[in-house]
């Protein structure tokens, strides 16, 4: 009865917030903006603003339990302590007298392509074997076709779960639900929470773009957590800055849907309207149409997290589709690698490409890239070593470089965002205190680096060239 009462209260709360946006009656919106030619623009609201800042540096001290689930036999625990310098002014927390605890999402390297059930998977269970052989480690089956039926077709789907378990594949399991009906989600979480192939839940796909009630994801998240404390919850957000604090409250892992390839980001070719901060939908919210749209979004969301005082894990959702609606073409193989590696340079802990089937060259190059990024060597750097972003690069503009610094070696990623070649000597300054002996291993690309103590040098970069190397430290 207690759960039933909570369920009724959740639905009541959803219904009460269903119309909390600025659009006039009858005006369709995306990311809070009118986008049809017969509707006028208005302020969408939901913008997260920076608060007033201190004129002097402050200590930003955060502490949280390393784990929030313990067995009766556990006699010790540990804490994660994060101390950094900030100019944000905090506020006093109210006294807490509850037994609730904070949980930070687990960091993991996840490489996958979203695949619609009716376009690939439902042909045969053997499709899982094909995907495993390509180097992917997590599967997200988009519940199209009969996977959207009620009741859910368990007899048809469970052989896929069992085969994935045998292959060592995991599911980002999709429990997307109509915001006014939690029943199907509850049924699936109850049934699958103990299955060894379940890695995490996927609770919502672009709820901010669709302008679902702003508390819908939070209510869904708390509902899942009341059933299952062991698996993190993920969602994809589409908007640049639209009620982020409300929608992102509903997940541990946030994916960024930023699709800048092959579309006009200033004028909608679908709705014949301009696109700006208060009007229009061009397929990539508040984008310019450059690769930096991806890194800016990841950095922006991380900044929001700092403002809100919480910790979220971020994944990227690079574009792997085209020839539809806003997008006139597929990304090239080189563009796909740039989008993937630029995301990782900006702290994305997973790569979740949308979607499959894709072009043959994109599929081939992402297969190769997945094989590299999911190795133990690379994973240990990406998940276990400090990341230093935006390394200084001299000799070319729009070259993004990042490093993960270990005790005896360093992983360096350099991404040329220019379509044209960058001529002349290019110098990358390594993180402070790091001195390099040599290039130990080239994991991706053909760049020839010369070591010069605290710097790496090369004679130019090809357009969209990517270099991923392991450096031995002195």
Quote the pLDDT of residue 104: 38
Quick check: 123 pLDDT over 70? yes
Average pLDDT over residues 378-394: 97
DSSP characters for 178-205? -TT--HHHHHHHHHHTT-TTEEEEEEEE
**pLDDT tens across 255-278, in order?**
999 999 999 999 999 999 999 999
Average pLDDT over residues 461-472: 99
Average pLDDT over residues 165-181: 86
Quick check: 110 pLDDT over 80? no
Residue 259, both tokens: 């699709």
Domain spanning 387-473: CATH superfamily: Golgi alpha-mannosidase II (2.60.40.1180)
Average pLDDT over residues 399-411: 98
Euclidean distance between CA atoms 365 and 258, whole angstroms: 20
Quick check: 469 pLDDT over 80? yes
Quick check: 121 pLDDT over 90? no
* Cβ contact 416:465 at 8 Å: yes
pTM here?
Answer: 0.89
Quote the pLDDT of residue 16: 53
**pLDDT tens across 51-68, in order?**
888 889 888 888 888 777
As a whole number of Å, the CA-based R_g of the chain is 23
What is the average pLDDT score of the chain? 89
Quote the pLDDT of residue 167: 93
Quick check: 30 pLDDT over 90? yes
β-strands 170-174, 138-142: how paired? Answer: parallel
Quote the pLDDT of residue 351: 92
Three-state secondary structure call for residue 366: helix
Quote the pLDDT of residue 339: 98
Quote the pLDDT of residue 92: 53
Quote the pLDDT of residue 3: 45
The model's confidence at residue 100, banded by pLDDT at 50, 70 and 90, is very low
- Which DSSP state fits 324? B
Euclidean distance between CA atoms 204 and 234, whole angstroms: 8
Quote the pLDDT of residue 90: 66
Quote the pLDDT of residue 19: 54
- Which DSSP state fits 284? S
Closest C-alpha among 279, 287, 352 to residue 321: 352
Euclidean distance between CA atoms 454 and 436, whole angstroms: 6
Quick check: 460 pLDDT over 90? yes
Average pLDDT over residues 79-97: 69
Three-state secondary structure call for residue 113: strand
Q: Where are the domains of the chain?
A: 110-374, 387-473
Residue 156, both tokens: 């048809």
The model's confidence at residue 454, banded by pLDDT at 50, 70 and 90, is very high
**What stretches of 349-448 adopt beta strand conformation (E)?**
350-356, 387-388, 393-394, 399-405, 409-416, 422-429, 436-444
Residue 418, both tokens: 């220019």
Quote the pLDDT of residue 42: 97
The model's confidence at residue 112, banded by pLDDT at 50, 70 and 90, is low
Quick check: 236 pLDDT over 60? yes
DSSP characters for 26-71? T--EETTEE-STTS-------------EEEEEEEEEEEEES-S---
- Please tell me the CATH code under which domain 110-374 is placed: 3.20.20.80
Quick check: 106 pLDDT over 70? no
Domains 110-374 and 387-473 are alike in CATH topology: no
Euclidean distance between CA atoms 135 and 167, whole angstroms: 12
Average pLDDT over residues 78-97: 70
Quote the pLDDT of residue 13: 55
Percent of the chain with pLDDT over 90: 69
172, 198, 200, 266, 282 from 231: Cα distances, Å = 10, 8, 5, 40, 34
**pLDDT tens across 313-364, in order?**
999 999 999 999 999 999 999 999 999 999 999 999 999 998 878 899 999 9
Quick check: 26 pLDDT over 80? yes
Quick check: 1 pLDDT over 50? no
């Amino acid at each position: 009865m207690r759960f039933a009462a909570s369920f009724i209260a959740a639905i009541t709360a959803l219904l009460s917030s269903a119309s909390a946006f600025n659009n006039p009656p009858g005006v369709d919106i995306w990311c809070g903006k009118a986008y049809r030619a017969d509707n006028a623009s208005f302020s969408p609201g939901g913008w997260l603003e920076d608060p007033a800042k201190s004129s002097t540096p402050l200590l930003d001290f955060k502490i949280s339990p390393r784990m929030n689930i313990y067995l009766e036999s556990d006699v010790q625990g540990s804490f994660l302590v994060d101390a950094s310098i900030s100019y944000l002014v905090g506020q006093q927390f109210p006294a807490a007298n509850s037994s609730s605890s904070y949980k930070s999402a687990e960091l993991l390297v996840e490489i996958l392509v979203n695949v619609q059930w009716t376009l690939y998977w439902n042909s045969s269970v053997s499709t899982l074997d094909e995907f495993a052989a390509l180097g992917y480690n997590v599967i997200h089956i988009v519940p199209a076709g009969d996977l959207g039926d009620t009741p859910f077709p368990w007899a048809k789907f469970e052989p896929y779960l069992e085969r994935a378990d045998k292959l060592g594949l995991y599911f980002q399991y999709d429990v997307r639900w109509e915001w006014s009906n939690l029943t199907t989600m509850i049924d699936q979480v109850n049934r699958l929470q103990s299955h060894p192939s379940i890695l995490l839940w996927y609770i919502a796909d672009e709820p901010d773009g669709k302008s679902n009630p702003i508390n819908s994801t939070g209510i869904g998240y708390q509902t899942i957590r009341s059933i299952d404390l062991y698996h993190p919850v993920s969602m994809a957000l589409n908007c640049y800055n639209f009620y982020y604090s409300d929608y992102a409250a509903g997940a541990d892992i946030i994916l960024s849907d930023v699709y800048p390839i092959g579309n006009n980001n200033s004028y909608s070719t679908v709705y014949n309207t301009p696109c700006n901060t208060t009007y229009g939908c061009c397929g990539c919210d508040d984008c310019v149409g450059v690769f930096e749209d991806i890194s800016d979004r990841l950095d922006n969301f991380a900044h929001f997290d700092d403002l809100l005082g919480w910790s979220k894990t971020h994944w990227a959702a690079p574009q792997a589709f085209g020839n539809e609606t806003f997008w006139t073409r597929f990304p090239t193989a080189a563009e796909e690698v740039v989008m993937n590696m630029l995301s990782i340079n900006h702290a994305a802990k997973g790569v979740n490409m949308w979607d499959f089937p894709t072009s043959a060259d994109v599929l081939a190059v992402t297969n190769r890239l997945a094989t590299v990024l999911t190795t133990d060597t690379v994973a240990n750097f990406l998940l276990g070593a400090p990341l230093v972003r935006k390394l200084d690069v001299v000799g070319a503009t729009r070259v993004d470089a990042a490093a993960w610094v270990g005790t005896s070696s360093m992983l360096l990623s350099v991404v040329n965002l220019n379509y044209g070649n960058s001529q002349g000597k290019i110098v990358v300054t390594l993180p402070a205190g790091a001195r390099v002996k040599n290039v130990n291993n080239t994991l991706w690309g053909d760049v020839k680096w010369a070591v010069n103590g605290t710097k790496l040098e090369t004679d130019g970069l090809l357009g969209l060239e990517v270099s991923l190397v392991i450096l031995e430290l002195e």
